[in-house]
A and B are shown apart, each in its own frame.
Chain A
Amino acid sequence: MEKIKNIDKNILIRARAGDLEAFEYILSFYEKAIYNYCLRILKNSHNAKDVTQDTFIKIYTHRKLIDPEKNIKTWIFTIATNTAYDFLRGKKRKNEISFDEDNETILSFEAYYPQEGVVSDIDRALEQINQEYRKSLLLFYQQGFQYQEIADILDIPINTVKTHISRGKEQLKDKLKNYLA
């Protein structure tokens, strides 16, 4: 698993001051994580690309809010989550896709994971569980966040995060059983 580390404080200070090199460093550091997170939420590589781009442009626009003393990773993922929500709300308004979990457009995972053999059972099963549980699971396992950080990112209580992770794992277990059967 590619757990991402934190960025040096001096780079954050420079980025806050508008230094483009420092910003590019932050972009290079987190773009893959953000893109993968958006991809799992939006289930469409084109939309995930747009939302990732918008996320980093927002980060630059609001760079004055960067607090070098705090963990920027949580802040970046909060922006990404809100940008993805806004995107989905916009899509819902346009009736392009339904926001409702049951009617959600389920795209084949292979469609954006074209390399053969990359898609595992867990990847497929993840696509079929409740979206809220999936987000918590991804932030915890794929992105390596703590419970409190996930609670901050998703703006939900910490106990809800724990419940989502636990229920998400239960749902995953059921889905994986189906695959094995």
Chain B
Amino acid sequence: MEKIDEQLNSISFVEVPTGMHQFVMQKVNYKKFQPVLFVTFILLALNFIVIVWHINAKLIDAEFTDMMQDFLEIFSFNFSFINTVFVSFFEIISPLLVVSAILSLVGAIYTGKKINFYHFVQI
């Protein structure tokens, strides 16, 4: 029996696989910042929805579809025509509002992708 004790005391250890330590730390880092990422994602997504809603309401008020139909009837592919369309559009909607909507969308996609990556990707 003593010999077995001796042999059992000499059971070998293997090294941990490469990348396991890093994987755990990445997951744990994500766990730590998960609430912040989720809140950021939700705020950006809501912000985008509110801005789009607001833009849509403004366009309806200004009867933008009718305006577009009129533009299409007299459509011509030149700078002054396209410039007129843009100027008319930005008279109804502030360019800052459009930029804000784009930034919110990009931010929501970015945080959404980060959440998706840490949730499902195995290294």
- A residues adjacent to B (C-beta < 8 A): 1-2, 18, 20, 23-24, 27-28, 31-33, 35-36, 39, 45, 49, 52-53, 56-57, 60-61, 112-113, 118-123, 126, 137-138, 141-142, 169, 172-173, 176
Contact = CB atoms under 8 A, between A and B. Distances in A.
Nearest to A165: B8
Interface residues of B, number: 24
B9 to A, nearest CB: 5
B17 A45 contact: yes
Given A23-B28, A172-B4, A122 B10 contact: yes
B59 to A, nearest CB: 47
Contacts of B12: 113, 118-120, 123
Contact of A36 (B5, B13, B31): B13
Interface of B: 1, 4-5, 7-17, 20-21, 23-25, 27-29, 31-32
Contacts, number: 86
Given A31-B20, A61-B31, A137-B8, 5 more contacts: A20-B25, A35-B14, A35-B16, A120-B12, A141-B11
Closest 10 CB pairs of A and B: A141-B8, A122-B7, A56-B24, A60-B28, A35-B16, A142-B11, A1-B9, A36-B13, A49-B17, A31-B16
Interface of A is mostly: helix
Contacts of B23: 53
